[in-house]
Amino acid sequence: MVLRDNEQFIVTCPGNPNAENIQMDFTVFWAMPPDPVTILPAIKTLESMQEVFFVDFIVPRGSELNVFCLFTHRLLIRAYPAVRMTTQVPSKPLTRVVVSGSTHGNEMSGVFLARHWIKDPSELTRSTFSATAVIANPRAMEKCVRYTQQDLNRSFKMDYLVALDSEEEPYEVKRAKELNKIYGPKGSPEAYDFMFDMHNTTSNMGACIIVDSPQNSFAMHMANYIQTNYMQKCPIYVYKKGDEESYTIDSICKNGVAMEVGPQPQGVVRADCLAQMRALVRHGLDFIEKFNQGSAFPAFDIEAHTLISREDYPRNADGEMSGIIHPKLQDKDFLPLNPGDPIFQTLDGNEVVYEGDSTIYPAFINEAAYYEKKIAFAKMEKKVFSIPDIQLKLD
Ligand SMILES: [Zn+2]
């Protein structure tokens, strides 16, 4: 069957009331691009499975839909990566570009820049395209909080985006769906070409570029271009582990990067951080302009940090933090941490040392927003990636 634009669609599968568990696979074959893409839409009401069992999801216009349902006795929910339409190099000029601020409402470089650029977008204009700015989480911005009910930048998984609308769903899920309608839909040919997502951190991470995957050659070239043209140190952080589903706001667009500038306290705007953010976005836009004009970008090797795991604080039997970041680790983001180096100081005066067996490069050290996520710092390793050359073929 061929589906209409963003149609909300109900698939009814013949249920087996006696089946304890259920496995359902859905494959969507898009008219464009030529290769079929597999996604797994949200699975709902597993507990209350009756004879009829409903799933809803958003599909791109012109999709051809094939549905396969399997019922088994083993619970098997396969976690497909939510497919960003492409991490391939674009085959056409990028014309629909968006710059997001206030994805976290108390990260003020992005809040100030996005508000300014909404009023005066001249800085976002190049000869081949004009980017637009958006306030991603207006309610959080008004209250100057990271989010109101749940972290918006963790709300772009397909199961949120395709869930049936309900009164009870958190504001950030509603907002994620709205943004997905405007700048997505995620994984569709209609999605915006690129998103810059502006963040601040309380950690001493400098001007950091966050890319989803080293296979994303276009974003890695942009990061390389920014590093080359930006006068300050500018580390690259590759955040995705394997095939985990993208949950960030830029994942609704065909491609994107996040920018993380710090240290800056929450709710505070510092001129140096704002200037760094502005420069990162400017160079990123310049890169898109040059790409659109057909410039050749040769292959290169580049160093980037990849996530190993996240480290929690020491805790007592009640789960309360019993230690804090050691002064020798504080502000040492992206610097080597060797086995035996101190990482925490307990309140009774002891040191906790890093017990790994190799040197790592921590980041997000003592990030204020991560206390609730039980993350004291992210453990990173440094790797060198070989990125192939890219060039847009102009007609
Ligand atoms: Zn943020």
Q: Tens digit of pLDDT for each residue in 256-287?
A: 999 999 999 999 999 999 999 999 999 999 99
Compute, in angstroms, the gap from residue 355 CA to the centroid of ligand 1.
29
How many angstroms is it from 14 CA to the middle of ligand 1?
A: 44
Instruction: Report the pLDDT value the prediction gives residue 185, as an integer from 0 to 100.
Output: 85
77, pLDDT greater than 50: no
**Whole-number Å distance between alpha carbons of 309 and 381:** 10
Give distance in angstroms: CA of 74 to centre of ligand 1: 39
Question: For position 338, what pLDDT does the model report?
Answer: 97
Question: Is 287:226 a contact under the CB 8 Å cutoff?
Answer: yes
Triad 349, 326, 383: Cα angle to 5°: 150
Give distance in angstroms: CA of 96 to centre of ligand 1: 23
Distance 46 CA to ligand 1 centre (A): 33
More confident residue, 33 or 59: 59
The DSSP symbol for 125 reads: B
% the chain with pLDDT above 70: 77
**Residue that is written with structure tokens 């409903």 in the block:** 54
What's the pLDDT tens digit per position in 115-127?
A: 999 999 999 999 9
Q: Tell me the CA–centroid distance for residue 70 and ligand 1, in Å.
A: 40
Is the pLDDT higher at 42 or at 243? Answer: 243
pLDDT, position 189? 80
Q: Is 88 exposed, middle or buried (0-12, 13-18, 19+ CB in 10 A)?
A: middle
Cα(139)–Cα(175) distance, integer angstroms: 10
Q: How confident is the model at residue 55, as a pLDDT?
A: 40
Phi, psi of 226 (to 5 degrees): -65, -45
Is residue 350 predicted with pLDDT exceeding 60? yes
Q: Give the pLDDT of residue 2.
A: 42
Q: Alpha carbon of 330 to those of 107, 270, 342: distances in Å?
A: 20, 20, 10
Cα–Cα dist 205/333, whole Å: 6
Is residue 240 very low, low, confident or very high in pLDDT (cuts 50, 70, 90)?
confident
DSSP E strands: which ranges in the chain? 8-14, 23-29, 52-58, 64-70, 97-101, 132-135, 194-200, 206-211, 236-238, 256-262, 300-311, 323-325, 342-346, 351-353, 377-387
Greater pLDDT, 31 or 89: 89
Cα 93 to ligand 1 centre (Å) = 29
Closest among 254, 139, 278, 138 to 200, alpha carbons compared: 278
Residues within 5 Å of ion ligand 1 by Cβ?
104, 107, 199
pLDDT of 16 > 80? The answer is no
Assign 3-class secondary structure to 150-186.
Answer: CCHHHCCCHHHHCCCCCCCCCHHHHHHHHHHHHHCCC
Give 192 Cα–ligand 1 centroid separation in angstroms.
21
Q: How confident is the model at residue 243 (pLDDT cuts 50, 70, 90)?
A: low
- Whether the predicted pLDDT of 24 surpasses 50: no
Secondary structure class of 26 (helix, strand, coil): strand
pLDDT for residue 161: 85
Tell me how far the alpha carbon of residue 199 lies from the centroid of ligand 1, in angstroms: 4
In this predicted model, what pLDDT tens digit does every residue of 204-234 receive, in sequence order?
999 999 999 888 999 999 999 999 998 778 9
pTM of the entire structure? 0.80
Comparison of pLDDT for 52 and 300, the residue scoring more:
300
Taking the centre of ligand 1 as the mean of its atom positions, its distance from the CA of residue 61, in whole angstroms, is 32
Task: State phi, psi for 263 to the nearest 5 degrees.
Answer: -85, 135
State in Å, rounded, how far the first CA of the chain is from the last one: 34
Report the pLDDT value the prediction gives residue 162, as an integer from 0 to 100. Answer: 78
Residue 89 CA neighbour count, 13 Å, CB half: 18
* Least confident residue range of 192-196, 211-215, 310-314: 211-215
Cβ-contact 19, 57 below 8 angstroms = no
How far apart are the CA of 333 and the centre of ligand 1, in A? 17
Asked whether the predicted pLDDT for residue 300 surpasses 60, the reply is: yes
Q: Which among 324, 221, 254, 330 has a CA at the least distance from the CA of 98?
A: 254
Q: Which amino acid is at 94?
A: L
Residue whose pair of structure tokens reads 């949120």 in the numeric block:
160
Q: Which residue has the higher pLDDT, 160 or 8?
A: 160
Distance between Cα 16 and ligand 1 center (Å): 45
Residue 208 is predicted with a pLDDT of 97
